[in-house]
Structure formats: C-alpha cells, structure tokens
Amino acid sequence: MSQIIKVCDKKMMKEFVFLPERIYAGNPYWAPPIWSDEIKAYTPRYNPMLENTDYCLILALEEGRVVGRNLIYIDHRYNQYYNSKIGLFGAFECENSPGTVKAIMDYSEKWLAGKGMSSIRGPIHPIAENWGFLASGFDTPAVFMSPYNPPYYPELFANLTGYEKAKDLLAYTGDSEEGYVIPERIVKFSERILKHRPNITVRRFRMNRLIEDGEHIWRITNTALADNWGYVPVERSVFLDMVKKVGPIADPDAMWFVEDNGVPIGYAFGFPDLNTILRRINGRLFPFGFLSLLFGIKHVRFFRLFGLAVMPEYHGMGLDVLLYSSLYNALKPRRVKLEANYILEDNFSIRNAIEKMGLKLLKTYRIFEKQL
C-alpha cells in the first residue's frame, strides 16, 4: 500500500520536481522543463499563479521509493468567478499502479473536502500551463506548454470510482513538408475582407514594444474568452509572468493583430516550439544548453498556435481567418509544422474555422472531475 506524504523540505521538493525524468526516461515524445526554473516554480515567491491559492504538494512512496506525485490546490479567484467550490489538481505523475493512483487521489479528495470543496477537477497544471491528460496522439511530440503522459494515465482515472470526463480539449495540425497549404478559398476570402473593409488592417507584434502589445493581448483575451469553459480573467501579474516565459522565444512572424482604425481588436499568438530544443539539452541550460537555446530557436520548424481571439462585437466577420492567413503567409517560407491547441471540443465555431483552413485533428486532452 502506498504511503502519501507532504513535501516539506528541499530534499522532498527535489524528489517531486525530478520524478518525471525517471518516469519518461527514453521517451522521445516527452519534453523536460527547464529544470533550473522548475525547482523554484512551486512557491508563490517565484510563481504568481500560486499567490491566490491554497495548495499542497504530495509524494507517493512504495517501500521508501517515490512512485507518484500530485499538486492539490484551491484557486480562490476561480471559485469566486464561478461561484463554485471546485478543487483542482495538477502536476500529477505516477507509475502504472492502480493502487498508487487511488492512494494519491484519495488523499487529494480528503484534503479538498476538508477545506469545503464539493468537487475535484483536473489535471490543470498551473505551473506548466498544462490542461488535461493526453488521451490520444501519444505518438506525436508534446509542444511547449502542453501535456504529455503515458497512455495509462487516462485509463487509470477512467477506472477510479466517481471520475468522469469533464471536457475534452483538441489539438489540430498542418505540416508544410507533408503537403499542407492554406486552401485557395481562404486566401481569396482574406483578400476580400481587406478590400471591402478599408478600416481593417493587420500587423505583426512589435518586439520593441513588448509590454504595450502584450497588454493588447491581455485586454482582448479577458474580453473575448470570458464565456469560455473554465476561463478566468487573467491578472496582470500572471500576464507579466507569461510574457517572461514566452518573450525570449517570441517570433513576430507568428504573432499578429487585426486592427479597426489602428485599434487592436483581435490577435493570433504563436511561438516556436521550445520543446524541440529542451529535448536535445535535457532541460539543462548549463554549461552549454543556453547556447543551444539562444541560437537554435531561430531555426525551429515546429510552431504552436497558442491563442486566437477576436473581440465579440467583431465575430462573424471572418477576422479569425484573416489572422490565421497572415500568420501562415509569414511562416510559409520556413516550411513550418503548426499545432493549434487547446480547442474546446464543443467550440464548434472555432473547430469549423480551423477545419476549413485544412488543419487536421491530431490530439485529444481529457479533464476529469469527481463530486466529493
């Protein structure tokens, strides 16, 4: 029977942080984090995502050996926004043992119930910005800030008493080296928008005005995604932390605004897949990994489309297609492979737009929930 203990010192924290390195040893699709950042990320001092939460880090032991972990937390802003009592979990890792996963989740459920929560939902990893367990697409590499896990994770949870699917999130892809091109009708449609609406223009993200343009993304996101399942308006401190994470790898060819008379009203936000380099340097920046990161990011062929949003009053005008076309045309000479995620399974307007642009379904991520 597994023993569950709280992380309460530096040695335990090291065990918690580096457990995935053992679980995924030899797996070519998983990507390590930047370990020097990860070892500091589970404290509010270094991570603003934890500032408004109650949280607990736990380890599962078998005969003194660490075999699993979990981050249990209560996001008070989330519960206030939705008037709910939902507890969350993330950073889950575990060897393939039904008994161990049951022990981990039993402890997690009791911890949350003891703090007045009525349900548990996850995985939603507030450190890595990962949502869900990968449920299909195990033979494709994880892109930066998206999850990867063994196939047995969703199977273990499906067999736990009371856990049901809360939502599936989808990822789509198009690879120019495998013949992907944007459909001609999309090209012509984008041209018509610009011809018949002279007030509408598109432009790249300005790297020399990083914060100013970043705040346009922040403003649009908090308005355009307000009704999306699970979304909570992002605080400025969290936004600045995101800028810190993505800024060093930002590529203006993958970041576009659509404007109405010079005012940003929508954006497409992509970035090079840092994971392609993190695998090569095993997540270690020193002694020479940072050089691979610094010089290699300019030559990465894999990109992630992280976000695409348009202000609600401009919906139905095809501006999302215009943004994607601008991004595609800028990246086309580099023969990129693009992955777009996360797409809510029931967001049929976005799914329809993406599928019309010729992108193909690649992965499914699953979030589970249980009533306590």
CA distances from 322 to 28, 186, 219, 235 (A): 35, 8, 20, 28
Rounded distance between C-alpha atoms, residue 7 and residue 12, angstroms: 5
Taking a C-beta distance cutoff of 8 angstroms, is the pair 21, 38 a contact?
A: no
Q: What average pLDDT does this structure show over 198-215?
A: 88
Quote the pLDDT of residue 295.
59
Q: What is the average pLDDT across 150-173?
A: 96
261: alpha, beta or left, given left = phi > 0 and alpha = psi -120 to 50? left
What's the pLDDT tens digit per position in 292-302?
666 567 778 89
Task: Note the pTM of the prediction, 2 decimals.
Answer: 0.91
CA 192 – CA 249 distance, rounded (Å): 33
The DSSP 8-state label assigned to residue 210 in this structure reads H
The pLDDT > 70 percentage for the chain reads 96
The answer to whether domain 3-128 and domain 174-364 are alike in fold is yes
State the fold for domain 3-128: Aminopeptidase (3.40.630)
Helical pair 210-224 and 236-246, crossing angle rounded to 10 deg: 120
Where are the chain's structural domains?
3-128, 174-364
| Lowest-pLDDT choice from 45-49, 62-66, 77-81, 162-166 | 45-49
Flag whether pLDDT at 311 surpasses 90.
yes
Question: Token match 């576009």: residue?
Answer: 256
Residue 46 has pLDDT above 90, yes or no: no
Give the highest mean pLDDT range of 64-68, 284-288, 346-350.
64-68
Place 87 in a pLDDT band, splitting at 50, 70 and 90: very high
- Does position 330 have pLDDT exceeding 80, yes or no? yes
pLDDT-based confidence at residue 70 (cuts at 50, 70, 90): very high
What CATH number does domain 174-364 carry, 3.40.50.300, 3.40.630.30, 3.30.465.10, 3.30.2350.10? 3.40.630.30
